[in-house]
Amino acid sequence: MLEQQLINALSLGSVYALFALGFTLVFGVLGVINLSHGAIFMLGSYAALLLIEHFALPLWLAMLAAMLVSGLIGLAVDCLVLRPLRARNAPHLAPMIATIGVATILTSLAQGLFGAENKRFPVGTIPEESYNWGNLHVTAVQIGIVVISFILMLVLLAVMRRTQLGRALRAIAESPKAAYLLGINVEGLFYLTSFAAAALGGAAGVLVGLSFNAITPFMGQPMLHKGIAVIILGGMGDIRGAMIAGLFLGFAEVLTVAYISSDFRDAVGFGLLFLILLVKPSGMFGKVLERKA
């Protein structure tokens, strides 16, 4: 049934988009592929789970707190790993590999601390309501995911387009050196970007945790793969592109599973990525600045 598939695709796609948003933001501003984004996403999910389990926080508050926690982790990664590499003007390969190391550390720490098994949110955390229109079946969680993702995406887009801060960030994306000469606090905005990107990643983690009600230390890796596909499809560093490509990937995956075979679900994103790189390396929506990556 097509309509039902489209609704599922919308909720899946908006999570992909939200995840990829932070990923692409870091690339756009810092020029770094941060491969620890998946691990931070996973930790955001755990943060919400622990806060709800131990302090019985309401869901919305736990989600805000989880965004704060993952944001701080992102900030710590920036301070400890990315900043020294920036100071040294390291080539693009170095931060990419270093963040692989960070992802390994975070994933196995989580595995050591929380165990490798699936965790679930306590009963009653997740709203059970669902709505039926004719044959359509929509859960409150699905609606929540779509609404929250879109709010976060639109806020970020508004900040980038309408505020002085966004202008400064775009200036840095263009050229950090020129931005610095114009009196922009480049280093401070790098920190802010890392924080915001990780917070968005954490929010996506909470939403995914809610929608599947299963949290594991390993949930970050497959998400990271989707994220890579999305930011390439959308054009690296392009925020609007990441939103559209995230939704697009969600639809492509759900429709593949529904009409072709679930075997190829994970190949869809990368197949698309491979194709788009061959045909139009700047991404589907790109006139992307030619970065010397």
Partner 1 sequence: MDWWDGFWSTYNTVIFSLGVNAMLALSIYVTLSCGLLSLANAAFMGIGAYAASLISMQTGLPFPVALAVGGALPALVALIIGIPTLRLSGVYLAMATLGFGEVVRVVVLNMDITGGPLGLNGIPLKTEWWHIVLLLALTLYILARMRRSKIGRAFEAIKEDEVAARLMGVNVAGYKLLAFVIGAAIAGVAGGLNAHYTFTIGPGNYAFENAVEILTMAVFGGTGSLVGPTLGGMILTLLPEALRDFNSYRAVVNGLILVLVILYLPKGIWDPRRIRHWVKTFSQRKPQAGGSN
We find the least distance from the C-beta atom of residue 267 to partner 1, in angstroms, to be 4
As a whole number of angstroms, the distance between CA 255 and CA 8 comes to 10
User: How many alpha carbons fall within 13 Å on the CB side of residue 169?
Assistant: 29
Task: Supply the minimum distance, in Å, between the C-beta of residue 57 and partner 1.
Answer: 29
Total chain residues near partner 1 (CB under 8 A): 42
> By CB under 8 A, is residue 260 in contact with partner 1?
no
The whole-angstrom separation of Cα 77 and Cα 100 is 12
CA dihedral 276, 278, 281, 284 (to 10 degrees): -20
Interface with partner 1, residue 84, by CB under 8 A: yes
DSSP string, 125-157: SS---EEEETTEEEEHHHHHHHHHHHHHHHHHH
Q: Would you state the torsion angle of the CA atoms of residues 266, 287, 167, 204, taken in this order, to the nearest 10 degrees?
A: -10
Count Cα neighbours of 50 within 13 Å in the Cβ-side half-sphere.
13
Is residue 90 involved in binding partner 1 (CB under 8 A)? yes
Binding positions for partner 1, 205-224, rule CB under 8 A = 221
User: Should residue 54 be labelled a site residue for partner 1 when binding is judged by CB under 8 A?
Assistant: no
- The reply on whether position 6 binds partner 1 by CB under 8 A is no
Q: In the complex with partner 1, which residue's Cβ is closer, 187 or 266?
A: 266
Among 236, 242, 243, 254, binds partner 1 (CB under 8 A): 236
**Site for partner 1, residues 29 to 48, rule: CB under 8 A:** 33
Nearest CB to partner 1, comparing residues 55 and 274: 274
By CB under 8 A, residue 108 contacts partner 1: yes
Among 151, 153, 142, CA closest to 242: 153
CA-to-CA separations, 262 to 15, 245, 253, 255, in angstroms, rounded? 20, 21, 9, 10
Binding site for partner 1 (CB under 8 A): 33, 81, 84-85, 88, 90, 92-94, 96-98, 100-105, 107-109, 111-112, 221, 225, 228-229, 232, 236, 263-264, 266-267, 270-271, 273-274, 277-278, 281, 292-293
